Structure 1
């Protein structure tokens, strides 16, 4: 029989600046980040598909976007972060910690909206790594990733980042008037050391040549998982 776990609740996370190699995470502040986010998430180069599975957006005008962003910025759950490009200082995406349950050491990374300026760059991967590292350093036991089961892009991202697929909750929610079957993924604290090493190896300068990856994240993570 496995030994019973003696568990003590952990603290709720507090949004603070986290520095990475390619980007930094900052607490979402509409006054500083709003102009960039409006332009990149709704301007001519915006990826309209990013709103398809989110429970809000796209927003028809700047006023409605600002009202939503103001409310999002002051919420403790979801706790919003902004992804800021380190070279340009431009705010290029948002994501959150949500479904925060310190009593059980459970938390979710969600509400992800990465602009086209982040796509096909290391910045989104680094953002997930930085949040995961912060979460597990606080003593959390489990990080979740949930998405519409029809959202193939989000499911591929979860698996690439090292989340384990756990199953589907059928008829779990109604989003924008449509049924949502929810796919569940997770990373446990015992999984994280190998996953973190894979992230770190992938993000290292030695893994890039002329801006292109040499080894995939899955390949590098597999090397550390074998050693575990």
Structure 2
């Protein structure tokens, strides 16, 4: 089962660079791989999803969120082609997509073993090129990246790939105590309707690459970043 099948834009069976390959995320194959590769619960401190105790819980979450039928979402499994046997490295995808407005947002979860390697830059670069290129791509006008304001690593990754900060959405997400690292450091007021389950809040940094950025030099920057070997 591939959640991307009802996506509002066409999706190839494979998107790839010389070193990384993306294929539509199949729950029957990739759910267990993701949960195994990202088993450290602290890995989920900055994002609204997870952690999950097993693949069944992860699959239940996706089905509860109606990911299979949501035409704004496309998920891809990430594979490192440089390994002797292509190694599963995480998940990446499009969310909050609109064919009418020609916009999308990229999310990515790379397994710790592949972070700070060519995998992250290539996976992101592959989706950026597919999203923003006119020839061979979707020709979108805008690609968004959102991250917890406390997640400096995610913000740096986005900026390294050419995203520009647009601003901060204060108190953007209701946040649980168990993920305090991703919160804004302030507790909600007494009597808040969701105080018991979500006593904290997450501020969100919004970054973007738009078509004119892309044509104005960001595409070349992304290709150079993908080609780096260090």
Secondary structure of the corresponding residue to residue 117 of structure 1: helix
Q: Is the 8 A contact 1:13 1:135 kept in 2?
A: no
Partners in 2 of 1:71 and 1:32 — Cα distance?
A: 19
| TM-score computed with the length of structure 2 as normaliser | 0.75
Q: CA deviation at 1:69?
A: 5.1
Matches within 5 A, 1:9-158: 12-16=8-12, 17-42=14-39, 46=40, 48-68=41-61, 74=68, 75-86=70-81, 87=83, 88-110=85-107, 112-137=108-133, 138-158=138-158
Distance 1:70 1:54, change over 3 A: same
Which residue is 2:182 aligned to? none
Partners in 2 of 1:53 and 1:78 — Cα distance?
A: 20
Distance 1:157 1:187, change over 3 A: same
Q: Is the 8 A contact 2:47 2:148 kept in 1?
A: no
What are the superposed Cα offsets for residues 175-199 of structure 1, whole Å, 9 maximum, x if unpaired?
3323121111111101113122122
Q: CA deviation at 1:51?
A: 0.7
Q: Which sections of structure 1, spanning at least 5 residues, go unmatched?
A: 1-10, 214-228
Q: Is the 8 A contact 1:30 1:69 kept in 2?
A: no
Distance 1:15 1:91, change over 3 A: farther
| TM-score computed with the length of structure 1 as normaliser | 0.76
Q: Is the 8 A contact 1:107 1:142 kept in 2?
A: yes
Which residue is 1:161 aligned to? 161
Structure 1 vs Structure 2 CA RMSD: 2.1
Partners in 2 of 1:152 and 1:92 — Cα distance?
A: 21
Q: Is the 8 A contact 1:164 1:185 kept in 2?
A: yes
What are the superposed Cα offsets for residues 131-187 of structure 1, whole Å, 9 maximum, x if unpaired?
011111312111111112122111111111111111112122213323121111111
Partners in 2 of 1:71 and 1:79 — Cα distance?
A: 16
What are the superposed Cα offsets for residues 44-82 of structure 1, whole Å, 9 maximum, x if unpaired?
xx4x44311211211123421232356676243332111
Aligned pair count?
Answer: 192
Partners in 2 of 1:61 and 1:39 — Cα distance?
A: 8
Q: Does 1:203 align with 2:199?
A: no
Partners in 2 of 1:62 and 1:18 — Cα distance?
A: 25
Partners in 1 of 2:144 and 2:54 — Cα distance?
A: 32
Which residue is 1:216 aligned to? none
Secondary structure of the corresponding residue to residue 186 of structure 1: strand
Secondary structure of the corresponding residue to residue 120 of structure 1: coil
Distance 1:49 1:19, change over 3 A: same
Q: Which sections of structure 2, spanning at least 5 residues, go unmatched?
A: 1-6, 177-197
